[in-house]
């Protein structure tokens, strides 16, 4: 099964990885995510999300970043096929 369609970080499953394709929204958000290492081309892995629209945690390089639910919906990711 291959998922071709890019989805947002909000919709990734915990444990899934993917490459960031695009960051929707203004330059302010772009810059802030950028400085935390989240930018187009980077591979990120979702660690978890809190229920009830809570923050999403992703791993990028060697660090973990917690992202609010709204912002997580603005990061578009090309999801990798999960290794068996």
Partner 1 sequence: MRRILLMGNPNVGKSAFFSRLTGTKVIASNYPGTTVGFTKGSLMLGEEQVEVIDVPGTYTLEPTSKAEEVASRLLQTGDVVINVLDATNMERNLYLTLELLERDIPVIVALNIWDETKHRGIEINTARLEELLGVPVVPTVALTGEGMKELANRIPEAASPEMTERTRDERWAAVGSIINEVQTLSHRHHTWLERLQDASLKPLTGLPIAVMVLAVSFVIIRSIGEGLIGYVMEPLFDRLWTPVMMELSELLGSEGFWHDVLIGNLFDGAVDYSQSMGVLTTGLFIPLGAVLPYILAFYLVLGVLEDVGYLPRLAVLLDNLMHRIGLHGYAIIPTMLGLGCCVPAIMATRILESRRERLITATLISIAIPCAASQAMIIGLVGEQGVQYLAMVYGTLFMVWLVLGFVLNRTVRGFSPEILIEIPPYRIPHWRAMLQKLWMRVYGFLREALPIILLAILVVSILISLGVFDKIAEVTAPVVSGIFGLPEAAVVAIVVGLLRKDIAIGLLAPLALSADQLVVGSVVLTMFFPCIAAFVVLARELGFRGLLMAIGVMIAATIVVGGLLNVVLL
SS3 11: helix
Alpha helices in the chain (DSSP H): 27-35, 69-72
24 binds partner 1 (CB under 8 A): no
Separation in Å, CA 13 to CA 21, 26, 31: 17, 26, 25
31 binds partner 1 (CB under 8 A): yes
Query: Applying CB under 8 A, which part among 4-12, 18-26, 49-57, 75-83 lies near partner 1?
Result: 49-57
64 binds partner 1 (CB under 8 A): yes
Query: Applying CB under 8 A, which part among 5-13, 18-26, 64-72, 76-84 lies near partner 1?
Result: 64-72
């Amino acid at each position: 099964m291959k998922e071709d369609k890019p989805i947002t970080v909000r919709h990734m499953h915990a444990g899934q990885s993917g490459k960031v394709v695009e960051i929707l929204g203004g330059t302010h958000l772009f810059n802030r995510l950028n400085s935390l290492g989240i930018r187009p081309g980077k591979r990120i892995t979702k660690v978890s999300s809190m229920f009830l629209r809570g923050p999403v945690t992703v791993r990028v390089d060697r660090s973990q970043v917690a992202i609010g639910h709204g912002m997580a919906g603005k990061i578009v990711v090309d999801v990798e096929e999960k290794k068996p």
